[in-house]
Structures are given as C-alpha cells and as structure tokens.
Amino acid sequence: MTGLRWGLIGASTIAAQHMIGAIRANGGEVTAVMSASADRSATFAREHAIARGVSGLDELLGADDLDAVYISTTNELHRDQVFAAAAAGKHVLCEKPLALTLGDARAMVARCHERGVVMGTNHHLRNAATHRAMREAIKAGRIGRPLFARVFHAVYLPPNLQGWRIDKPQAGGGVILDITVHDADTLRFVLDDEPASVTAMTSQGGMGREGLEDGVMGVVRFASGVLAQFHDAFTTRYATTGFEVHGEDGSLIGTDCMTQAPKGEVLLRTKDGAAPLAIAHENLYARSVRLFQEAVAGRGSPAATGEDGIKSLGVALATREAARTGRETAIDLRV
Ligand code: NDP
C-alpha cells in the first residue's frame, strides 16, 4: 500500500526524533504540523520539510490532504485533540498516556469507534524485536510456567526534556505516567496476561518538583499469579535497562531493551545452559506506523490499540494510588 497522509498534532521532540522518519520510512507523507505557536509550527515545518505549519486544530483537521493524525502534545491535551480528530474522520495514533483519567481515555476510544476511525496508542516497546522474541519463547513453553518478571527502566531524563515532565502535574508529568505506562504495556504484551493489582513506593531524587515523583519501584500482581517488579526513574545516569521473565523451567534475561532504539539482546537460561534468542531488530516506531497503516487498510490492528492505552493508564493510575496509600491497589481494566 502507499503510505497515509499524516498531520502532526504537536511540534514535539518525539515527532522530530522518531515519528517523522517512521512515517516517511513507510511511504507516508507528513502534510502538516500543528503547534500552539505559529512561530514554532513554521520553524518545525521548515526544519522537517513539512508543507504546512499551522497553529489551529480546525485549520489542520479541515484540510482534505489528511488521512490520519499523530498526537504528541503534552498529556492533558490528548483528549480533546482525539475528539476533534475523530469528529473530522481522521484516523488517530495517540501518544501515551492517552489521558489523565480513565474516564477520559475510555471516552476517547469510544469516540473513535463511533466515528469508524482507527485508533492506536504509540506504545513503542511492544514493537521491539527483543520483547516479541520473549513473548514467542514463553508461548512456545521454553521457560515453562512464568513465575516472576522484572523490569529495569530507570533512565536519565535528558536536559532538553527536563520541562513539563518534572514540574507540571496538570500536564501529566511524573515518572509513573511517563515510564510506568510503558512497563505496563510491555508486561501485558510479553506475558500475555492481565494485571490485577499493584503496590508501589515513589521517590523524589532531585528532579521532580510540584510534588511530582521522579522515581518509583513497585510490584504488579497478574491474573495468573505472576509477580512483576518494576523500577522507573528520571534520575539515574548510569543504569542499564532490562526485562526479565523467570519461569519454572527457564529464565529469559533481556538486556538494554527498554529503549527507543532497535537494540538489546535476550538470553535464555535453562537446564541446557544459556543461549541468546535470535533477534531481527527493526525500528520500533517504523513498525508502529506500519501496523497502524495496515489497520487503516483493513488488515489487523495497530500494534497497541486504544484499549491497550486504557489498560496501561489503568496500571499507572493504580500505581500512583498505591504509592499514595501504601496499599496493594486493584487495577481497573475496564475499557
Ligand atoms: P516535548 O516537550 O518535546 O513536546 C510536547 C509539547 O511541548 C509540544 O507539542 C510543544 O507544543 C511543546 N514544546 C516542545 N518544545 C517546546 C519549546 N522549545 N518551547 C515551547 N514549547 C515547546 O515532548 P515529548 O516529545 O517528549 O513528548 C510528547 C508526547 O509524546 C507526550 O505525550 C509523551 O508522553 C509522548 N512520548 C512518547 C514516547 C514514546 O516512545 N512512545 C517517547 C517520548 C514522548 P506545541 O506543539 O504547541 O508547539
């Protein structure tokens, strides 16, 4: 198929660094970008060879040369932008977290269904070849019954991103809405299991302000009984990332895999010794766009659907509540 004609809602870092390239790699065209600031949209359009930079949603969505939008504004804006795009009949790939409340996220997904447009959540990590290989190895029974998982996703937030994430609660800042949502989606995908409850503690290591956490550790209890431990932070300069699943008959040790780049490896350890899984790396964002475009063409679903976005938000909000109350908290997975 030829690629879609996309409008960018949000002149963001993620669009500049990953998504414009991913769209173009799939034969898609970026026809316009919208920013709240006319200056920013004009500059962004010029820097990225986009035909139009606009500063109003109606102007963007009213254009005929647009099939889909990619929404990567700050998190409190996603809801109304999804509503507007769906009303205009445009397919929607929205960044995580979908919204700040589950009610809003459900309404966004419902609106896209009502309007007959495809909706995806841009959870890039389920597009990683490492995580897909782990999911397949578990399904093939190579580690037996999974018992535990561990997610290492503590990073250092680069200086250019030390803005709303660390000082704007009203924009959906904080490490839980930023990173724990990704852990939740990746765990659901790799384990093919649903989270039931969570317990967590947060910390402020010097970056988070206005009461926002910049570190969190927690444990999710899955429906099958698997316990999954996670560690997310903005403040660790020298940590590495990883994703492990430990089963009755073997362990999968993924290293350097909770990243935006197509890299990392997975070791399978069993009674026969240790051997790496075969990994065919592919750009995570290009795969996300490819599957989204396929879904628009009527073939399959986006890598992560709107419903997946609701569920990852459900885990994040329950994590916040668990940290606040000190209690194991049930996760609301209703979509
Ligand atoms: P940015 O801070 O780069 O951009 C967010 C918004 O901030 C933009 O839409 C823009 O508003 C405004 N902005 C950006 N730069 C400036 C500036 N120099 N001056 C003034 N305003 C500015 O955010 P990210 O790209 O990091 O994140 C955007 C969204 O994408 C979030 O929802 C985030 O959670 C998600 N994300 C997802 C990732 C993934 O891998 N799935 C990775 C990173 C982020 P305007 O458009 O009005 O100009």
Give the whole-angstrom CA distance, residue 186 versus residue 192: 9
pLDDT value, residue 42: 98
CA of residue 122 to ligand 1 center, whole Å: 14
Give the whole-angstrom CA distance, residue 33 versus residue 42: 9
- Best probe residue, ligand 1, of 8, 9, 12, 153 (max atoms within 8 Å of C-beta): 12
Q: Tell me the pLDDT tens digit for each residue of 164-214.
A: 999 999 999 999 999 999 999 999 999 999 999 999 999 999 999 999 999
Same domain? 112 vs 208 = no
- Tokens standing for residue 242: 């990883």
Task: Tell me which residue has its CA closest to atom 29 in ligand 1.
Answer: 72
pLDDT value, residue 205: 97
Residue 301 belongs to a domain: no
CA of residue 40 to ligand 1 center, whole Å: 12
Please tell me the pTM assigned to this model: 0.98
pLDDT value, residue 57: 97
Same domain? 148 vs 239 = yes
Residue 165 belongs to a domain: yes
CA of residue 173 to ligand 1 center, whole Å: 12
Same domain? 145 vs 114 = no
Q: Which domain CATH number covers 254? A: 3.30.360.10
- Tokens standing for residue 140: 């093939």
Instruction: Return the percentage of the chain with pLDDT > 70, whole number.
Output: 100
**Of 68, 91, 124, which marks where a domain is finished?**
124
CA of residue 113 to ligand 1 center, whole Å: 26
Closest by CA to 177, choosing from 102, 246, 117, 111, is 102
Q: Tell me the pLDDT tens digit for each residue of 94-152.
A: 999 999 999 999 999 999 999 999 999 999 999 999 999 999 999 999 999 999 999 99
Domain of residue 72: give its range: 5-124
Q: Tell me the pLDDT tens digit for each residue of 272-286.
A: 999 999 999 999 999
- Going by C-beta distance under 8 Å and a sequence separation of 6 or more, which residues neighbour residue 240? 152, 255, 256
For the cut 60, the answer to whether the pLDDT of residue 245 exceeds it is yes
For the cut 90, the answer to whether the pLDDT of residue 288 exceeds it is yes
* Contact 13 CB / ligand 1 (< 6 Å): yes
Residue 292 belongs to a domain: no
SS3 call for 301:
coil
Q: Tell me the pLDDT tens digit for each residue of 248-266.
A: 999 999 999 999 999 999 9
* Contact 11 CB / ligand 1 (< 6 Å): yes
* DSSP calls for 123-156: -GGGG-HHHHHHHHHHHTTTT-SEEEEEEEEE-B
Q: Which residue has the tokens 């879904």?
A: 295
Q: Tell me the pLDDT tens digit for each residue of 49-93.
A: 999 999 999 999 999 999 999 999 999 999 999 999 999 999 999
* Contact 161 CB / ligand 1 (< 6 Å): yes
Give the whole-angstrom CA distance, residue 73 versus residue 94: 9
Side chain identity at 223, as an amino acid letter?
A
Same domain? 249 vs 153 = yes
Same domain? 196 vs 117 = no
Query: How many independent structural domains does the chain possess?
Result: 2
* DSSP calls for 65-97: S-SEEEE-S-GGGHHHHHHHHHHTT-EEEEPSS
CA of residue 93 to ligand 1 center, whole Å: 15
Cβ count within 10 A of residue 162: 14
- Atom number, ligand 1, closest to the C-alpha of residue 284: 40
Give the whole-angstrom CA distance, residue 131 versus residue 259: 11
Q: Tell me the pLDDT tens digit for each residue of 227-242.
A: 999 999 999 999 999 9
Residue 324 belongs to a domain: yes
Same domain? 165 vs 280 = yes
- What are the respective helix, strand and coil percentages of the chain, to the nearest 5? 40, 25, 35
Residue 73 belongs to a domain: yes
* Contact 312 CB / ligand 1 (< 6 Å): no
pLDDT value, residue 2: 74
* Contact 35 CB / ligand 1 (< 6 Å): yes
Residue 291 belongs to a domain: no
Q: For the packed helices 102-115 and 78-87, what is the interaxial angle rounded to 10 degrees?
A: 10
Residue 47 belongs to a domain: yes
195 and 331 Cβ atoms separated by less than 8 Å: yes
Cβ count within 10 A of residue 64: 6
For the cut 70, the answer to whether the pLDDT of residue 1 exceeds it is no
Task: Tell me which residue has its CA closest to atom 20 in ligand 1.
Answer: 40
